[in-house]
């Protein structure tokens, strides 16, 4: 599904990622852990086309995304739930969802998909015509996930979806992610909330100072003494 090979990138001249190699297999949930400033969001930006890689490769189903023009990446099957949600606050909930379906592949199915999103998140269906910026943080996060699903992705990237949300909402959102995964969606989950993330994911990577410094199954990572101290607060 997703293959990241020796990816190097940064902002301006400041290099952030060094030779990052990672993968997500079909139907997997993989989590990316690491402290603030490790480069997690930079990696998400590079995968979603916001940032161009300096070197290395990103392959999605054997298609080289580093050679794909940024606005065509969603068409090839990656959809992103960005850090801080980045919904369009002055647009209605429905219009936000429709932007998710902008790419040529997903657009013909937008009507059915909007209904599907409203079934997944009934809270959103009560607020269809409300301006997205007037909703609570949890509702905005649901909208950001709904918008990404509208793109009919094969891989969903989530950048800190639990940030700033009440535990009950986080639980609800993680439940939805589990459900979507069981229906076949592959997920790359960037999280600070390491315990929750490892409980959901099958595998994980640890990113520190722009380099992958550890990887393993969730069980292995949860048992790792150093990781427990650094991220799990145990």
Partner 1 sequence: MNADLLTQAAVSGALIGGLYALMSLGLSLSWGALENINLAHFMFILFGAYVTYQLTSSAGIDPLLAALIVVPLGFAAGGLLQIFFEWAKVDEFKSLIISFGLFIILQSLARTIWSADFRSLDQSINPYVGSSFTVGSVSLQIPLVIAFVAAALIAFGTQAVMGRTFFGKAVRAVVHDPDTAQAFGVDHRRVGVLLAAIASAYSALAGVLIATFQSLSPTMAVGWFGIVFPVVILGGLGNAVGNFLAGIIIGVAAGVAAVIWGPLSASLVTFSIMVLALLFRPEGLFTRKAAI
DSSP string, 94-148: HHHHHHHT-STTTGGGHHHHHHHHHHH-HHHHTTTTSBGGGS-HHHHHHHHHHHH
- Region of 30-38, 67-75, 120-128, 220-228 interacting with partner 1 (CB under 8 A): 67-75
* Site for partner 1 contains 88 (CB under 8 A): yes
**Would you say 150 and 100 are in contact if contact means Cβ atoms under 8 Å apart?**
yes
* Site for partner 1 contains 95 (CB under 8 A): yes
Among 98, 142, 180, 207, binds partner 1 (CB under 8 A): 98
Least Cα distance to 52 among 16, 81, 103 occurs for 16
Task: Give min distance, CB of 150 to partner 1, in A.
Answer: 8
Cα angle value 202/204/210 (rounded, 5°): 165
- Region of 2-10, 96-104, 161-169, 170-178 interacting with partner 1 (CB under 8 A): 96-104
CA dihedral 111, 114, 120, 124 (to 10 degrees): -150
Q: Count residues contacting partner 1 (CB under 8 A)?
A: 32
Q: What is the DSSP letter of 92?
A: B
Least Cα distance to 214 among 35, 78, 56, 45 occurs for 35
Residues 120-179, interacting with partner 1 (CB under 8 A): 131-134, 147, 151
**Would you say 105 and 61 are in contact if contact means Cβ atoms under 8 Å apart?**
no
Q: Which is nearer to partner 1, 187 or 200 (CB)?
A: 187
Q: Which is nearer to partner 1, 113 or 218 (CB)?
A: 113
C-alpha dist (Å) from residue 172 to 29, 136, 168: 17, 15, 6
Q: Which is nearer to partner 1, 99 or 223 (CB)?
A: 99
Q: Which is nearer to partner 1, 80 or 200 (CB)?
A: 80
* Site for partner 1 contains 74 (CB under 8 A): yes
Among 72, 166, 223, 234, binds partner 1 (CB under 8 A): 72
* Site for partner 1 contains 91 (CB under 8 A): yes
Task: Give min distance, CB of 180 to partner 1, in A.
Answer: 18
Task: Give min distance, CB of 216 to partner 1, in A.
Answer: 30
Half-sphere exposure of 191 (CA within 13 A, CB side): 25
Interacting residues toward partner 1 by CB under 8 A: 48-50, 69-75, 79-80, 82, 86, 88-91, 95, 98-100, 102-104, 107, 131-134, 147, 151
């Amino acid at each position: 599904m997703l293959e990241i090979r020796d990816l190097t990138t940064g902002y301006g001249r400041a290099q952030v990622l060094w030779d990052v190699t990672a993968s997500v297999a079909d139907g997997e949930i993989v989590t990316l852990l690491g402290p603030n400033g490790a480069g997690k969001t930079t990696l998400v930006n590079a995968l979603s086309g916001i940032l161009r890689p300096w070197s290395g490769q990103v392959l999605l189903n054997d298609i080289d995304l580093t050679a794909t023009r940024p606005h065509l990446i969603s068409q090839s099957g990656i959809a992103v739930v960005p850090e801080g949600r980045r919904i369009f606050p002055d647009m209605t909930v429905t219009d936000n969802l429709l932007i998710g379906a902008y790419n040529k592949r997903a657009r013909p199915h937008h009507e059915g998909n909007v209904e599907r999103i409203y079934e997944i998140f009934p809270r959103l269906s009560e607020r269809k015509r409300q301006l997205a910026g007037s909703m609570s943080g949890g509702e905005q996060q649901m909208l950001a996930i709904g918008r990404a699903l509208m793109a009919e992705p094969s891989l969903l990237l989530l950048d800190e979806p639990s940030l700033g949300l009440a535990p009950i909402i986080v639980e609800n959102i993680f439940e939805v992610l589990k459900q979507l995964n069981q229906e076949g969606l592959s997920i790359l989950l960037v999280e600070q909330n390491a315990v929750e993330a490892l409980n959901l994911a099958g595998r994980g990577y640890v990113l520190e100072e722009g380099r992958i410094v550890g990887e393993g199954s969730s069980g292995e990572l949860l048992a790792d003494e150093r990781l427990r101290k650094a991220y799990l607060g145990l």
